[in-house]
Amino acid sequence: MTNPFLLKLSTLAAVGDEDARFVEDLCRERRTVAAGSDLIEQGDRPEHVKIIFSGLACRYKLLSEGERQIMAFLVPGDICDLHIAVLGVMDHSIGVNGEAEVATIARDEVAEIVNHRPVLASALLKANLVDLAVLREWIVNNGRRAAYARIAHLLWELYLRHAVVGMVGNNQFFLPLTQRDLADATGLSYVHVSRTLTRLKEEGVIEWDRKRLTITDPEALRAISGFEPDYLHRLGDGTGPDGVSAT
Amino acid sequence: MTNPFLLKLSTLAAVGDEDARFVEDLCRERRTVAAGSDLIEQGDRPEHVKIIFSGLACRYKLLSEGERQIMAFLVPGDICDLHIAVLGVMDHSIGVNGEAEVATIARDEVAEIVNHRPVLASALLKANLVDLAVLREWIVNNGRRAAYARIAHLLWELYLRHAVVGMVGNNQFFLPLTQRDLADATGLSYVHVSRTLTRLKEEGVIEWDRKRLTITDPEALRAISGFEPDYLHRLGDGTGPDGVSAT
DNA sequence: CGCAGTGTTGACACCGTTCAACCCTAGTGG
DNA sequence: CCACTAGGGTTGAACGGTGTCAACACTGCG
């Protein structure tokens, strides 16, 4: 199964064959978007629901002085605001970090799921809960952890989330982020992010070469991050393809 | 109308008389909980949905070293996790800050709303969206604003949210928080919170005497906070009883 | 009265920011 | 093939916002 969206849903509910086919069919309309472009901008009233298939995207806001704060990353399989499509104006933007592949779903197809496919609907609901939990964890991370642990925690989160959708091999995955992106996600300066990453590399915890991140010592990274098990609600039992455990 | 929950729903959808009566009836079962106690604890599988009627509550997590991070405040009219009651384990706790009055709703009553009362259901959905937006704004606030603006922003948010549910009079409202609570919400130390509040008082922006907060100069507070209009999704048009505008 | 929780203030240390210079790499165009 | 450029990353030095430690004041309460 190479469809990360289906893969993710399968970890959240017991998706049957018929539902699986439906999901596969849903995602038929895909397109590639260029690195750095926005999927949705603040103020938009999105008409369609979008799903990330490959690459990385992020929710962000720009402040008046030009600072940017990233509030979430979207990894393959993630959905850009299921419900806002039904009612609201975006209060933030979603941009892609590297080149990304995105599927677009029409509203009435979402309605079809909600009304006639209870298993999928429940999976979507759970996915939504996980997003919320991740959001709360970011507040904890950015509010109460020092730079070293904060960055470790973010990398660990991204590692686990990529693992769940089968994007990790040999403790290694594609992460098209700049250090400025990391800084904007953690509320640090990019200079300090650079120093901190250097330290993580020196201590043999990670390697990061041209957008491929390798977790050389997963257990060390987890320990440094102060990662608390369970906040991802046992997303996929917390177990990735490499036997990565969230606990 | 003195029911803050109904008041809040009314600002989010056009609640008719019959729905209003239903809501009033929903909330009949109320109880008072003592200051400092927990409504829900991390690890619980809540059976009921709870609504704050008076007082203040907060979502929080404790870290291993004993630090606490508050991730959200719940003001009168707010709901403690509508959907988690249906499926999950709490990954955080909810505690009350002062003495609070809380209504309890059974699951099947929630189901009744979702299945048979579309107007209320839509209001609940929007309330959920607003909660999400507030959560995101906290990340921005704690990540990118300096202490002075950060605290101003939090106070401004609490001011607006209290105004929406009719709890503000003469730019004044009851806020049973300690400075430590503020520190745990903003990710600052309580010593620095004390200094910053002193500064806000000295500059004539606020007064805070035994749990009553007065916004002496609302426009100044808004300016200091760098508050961006609209992130509350025009919650109640952003207009409180005192003509407070969110824009 | 004494106590515990809360708030205030000062001194000092330190983590992280800012500013600046420099390097490396990939991409572009001649 | 090379020169040039722009973006990204690294490193050093100095500054400053915020944390930490500590002492003390105030308040409400048993």
Digit-by-digit pLDDT tens for chain A (247 residues) are: 578 999 999 988 889 999 999 999 988 889 999 888 999 988 888 888 899 999 999 999 998 888 999 999 999 999 988 777 666 788 899 999 988 999 998 888 888 887 788 888 888 878 888 888 899 999 999 999 999 999 999 999 999 999 988 899 999 999 999 999 999 999 999 999 999 999 999 999 999 988 999 999 999 999 999 887 665 554 433 333 343 443 3
Residue type, B1: M
pTM of the model: 0.88
More reliable by pLDDT, B81 or B31 = B31
- For the cut 70, the answer to whether the pLDDT of residue B148 exceeds it is yes
- Pairwise CA distance, residues A177 & A186, whole Å: 13
- Pairwise CA distance, residues A103 & A52, whole Å: 7
Could you tell me the pLDDT band of residue B236, with boundaries at 50, 70 and 90? very low
Best mutation site among B138, B140, B184, B234 for testing chain A: the one with the most A CBs within 10 Å? Answer: B140
- Under 8 Å between Cβ of B109 and B117: no
Give nucleotides in strand D with any atom < 7 A to a protein C-beta. Answer: 7-13, 17-22, 27-28
Q: Is the CB of B63 under 7 A from strand D?
A: no
- Per-residue confidence (pLDDT) for residue B85, from 0 to 100: 63
- Per-residue confidence (pLDDT) for residue B238, from 0 to 100: 36
Contact A140/B61, CB-based, under 8 Å? yes
- Under 8 Å between Cβ of A158 and A175: yes
Question: CA of A123: which chain B residue's CA is closest?
Answer: B87
B59 — contact with chain A (CB < 8 Å)? Answer: yes
Contact B135/A135, CB-based, under 8 Å? yes
- Per-residue confidence (pLDDT) for residue A52, from 0 to 100: 93
Longest dimension (CA), chain B: 53
Protein residues closer than 7 Å by CB to strand C:
A 146-148, 187-189, 191-192, 195, 210; B 178-180, 190-191, 194-195, 197-198
Give nucleotides in strand C with any atom < 7 A to a protein C-beta. Answer: 5-11, 15-20, 26
Best mutation site among A119, A136, A233 for testing chain B: the one with the most B CBs within 10 Å? Answer: A136
Chain A residue numbers touching B138 (CB-CB < 8 A): 139
Average pLDDT of span B1-18: 88
Contact A87/B122, CB-based, under 8 Å? yes
Measured from the Cβ of residue B169, the count of other Cβ atoms closer than 10 Å reads 12
Q: What is the dihedral of CA B162, B164, B166, B170, to 10 degrees?
A: 70
Q: How distant is C1' of C18 from CA of A181, in Å?
A: 18
A129 — contact with chain B (CB < 8 Å)? Answer: yes
Phi, psi of B62, rounded to the nearest 5 degrees = -105, 135
- For the cut 60, the answer to whether the pLDDT of residue B66 exceeds it is yes
3-state secondary structure of B144: helix
- Per-residue confidence (pLDDT) for residue B244, from 0 to 100: 39
What is chain B's mean pLDDT, rounded?
87
- Per-residue confidence (pLDDT) for residue B28, from 0 to 100: 87
B41 — contact with chain A (CB < 8 Å)? Answer: no
Kind and range of the H or E element at B105?
strand B100-105
Among A67-71, B214-218, B228-232, the minimum mean pLDDT is found in B228-232
Q: Is the CB of B185 under 7 A from strand D?
A: no
Contact A69/B140, CB-based, under 8 Å? yes
Q: Is the CB of B69 under 7 A from strand D?
A: no
For residue A189, give the nearest of A62, A23, A39, A68 by alpha carbon: A68
Contact B83/A129, CB-based, under 8 Å? yes
Could you tell me the pLDDT band of residue B1, with boundaries at 50, 70 and 90? low
Among B59, B72, B187, beta carbon nearest to A143: B187
Q: How distant is C1' of D1 from CA of B83, in Å?
A: 64
Q: Is the CB of A35 under 7 A from strand D?
A: no
Min CA distance, A220 vs chain B (Å)?
17
Q: What is the dihedral of CA A149, A152, A157, A158, to 10 degrees?
A: 150
Among B91, B126, B143, beta carbon nearest to A231: B91
In the DSSP assignment, the letter for residue B238 is: G
Best mutation site among B91, B150, B231 for testing chain A: the one with the most A CBs within 10 Å? Answer: B91
Min CA distance, A31 vs chain B (Å)?
28
B45 — contact with chain A (CB < 8 Å)? Answer: no
3-state secondary structure of B60: strand
Question: CA of B89: which chain A residue's CA is closest?
Answer: A233
